[in-house]
Amino acid sequence: MKAIVLNGPNDFSLQEIEDPVPTPEDVEIKVRMTGICGTDIHLLRGKNPFANYPLIPGHEYMGEILSAPEKSELNKGDRVTVFPAEGCGKCEACKTGRLPHCPEFKFIGVRLPGGCFAEKVVAHHKRVFPLPKQMADEVGAMVEPTAVAVHANRRADLGKEMKVLVIGGGTIGLLIAQVARVYGASKVIVSEPLDERRALARQMDFELICNPQEEDLVTFAKRSIGMADVVFDVVGTEKTLIEAGEILRPNGHLMLIALPHIENLGIPYRPAFAKELKAIGSRTYFMDDFPEAIQLLNTRQVDVKPLISKILPLDRFTEGVELLEKEPEKYMKILIIPTSSS
């Protein structure tokens, strides 16, 4: 099969490799569509602190079952998505579906080989989730990032009438904002410097949109909503953390969503202490976040189609990466179909 093989930072190429061999517990899947995300780009460029080279990268995808264990109740031809992580399988976290809390938690396509920028993958049948028959492939490929947004909102204990600020209007930021709205947030601010991404936020019917390069975010937020109950920081800089601390109400929730690629980035201590803020990390998702994400997408309560900028074949993977890096104002999410364009 063809796959993107990553040997180390900036050392990746499309190669012909052996097909993966399923164990008796595994489902064999033909990958139909997969997405390039920020985590992948950090991994490719040597900026992901959890990377373990060499491997096949990629972790957000949907596909079609080629074979499955009889006990799994999954069938050949079923369209599915996959929870892309493994734990020890024995601890309380694993038994309750909280794999990121397992001491042996490893992300496939980051710490473990077997990522989805390939024509085929195998996955343990308990990590495979069926997709509704009517769901389009490109929507199914977005279940994983939607699960990130679901998990973040659940971790924030997002409830009705809450006032929310999302710092960063990329794919994850706009998904978090949409889920917050579904969960009952009364007001949602999206802060994003890129014009095109602010336009997407408006397309999704968000009205409170700040350009932090032209207007002070703290001033904008306090004028628009007063003080926020929850701030989702999807950027993760010293500036955004300081702003979050100023905007949050006492006992508010500071949600740390951005990948920690900056060393020694600390939470501003004074406002956290004075307001008794709750700083909560939200890394990936739990197993039960996937069915919720599938439901929100299937009922169109969350709309991912405006986020999809381009769909490319696997042999143009490098082009997709470069477009996301060089033209972030134009390209939000690029999906890959693992078949040759020739």
- Please give the Cα distance from 157 to 166 (Å, whole number): 15
pLDDT in tens, the chain (342 residues): 999 999 999 999 999 999 999 999 999 999 999 999 988 999 999 988 888 999 999 999 999 999 999 999 999 999 999 999 999 999 999 999 999 999 999 999 999 989 999 999 999 999 999 999 999 999 999 999 999 999 999 999 999 999 999 999 999 999 999 999 999 999 999 999 999 999 999 999 999 999 999 999 999 999 999 999 999 999 999 999 999 999 999 999 999 999 876 667 888 889 999 999 999 999 999 999 999 999 999 999 999 999 999 999 999 999 999 999 999 999 999 999 997 544
The one-character DSSP state at 125 is: G
The fold of 147-281 is Rossmann fold (3.40.50)
The domains of the chain are located at 2-142+304-337, 147-281
What SS3 state is found at 101?
helix
Is the link from the previous residue into 132 a cis peptide, with omega within 30 of 0? no
Residue type, 117: F
DSSP 28-41: EEEEEEEEE-HHHH
Alpha helices in 118-267 (DSSP H): 137-140, 143-155, 171-182, 195-203, 217-225, 238-247
Which CATH code is given to the segment(s) 2-142+304-337? 3.90.180.10
In this predicted structure, what is the pLDDT of residue 49?
82
The one-character DSSP state at 270 is: H
In the chain, what is the straight-line distance between the N-terminal and C-terminal CA atoms, in Å? 15
Provide the Cα torsion 96, 284, 134, 74; round to 10°: -40
pTM of the model: 0.95
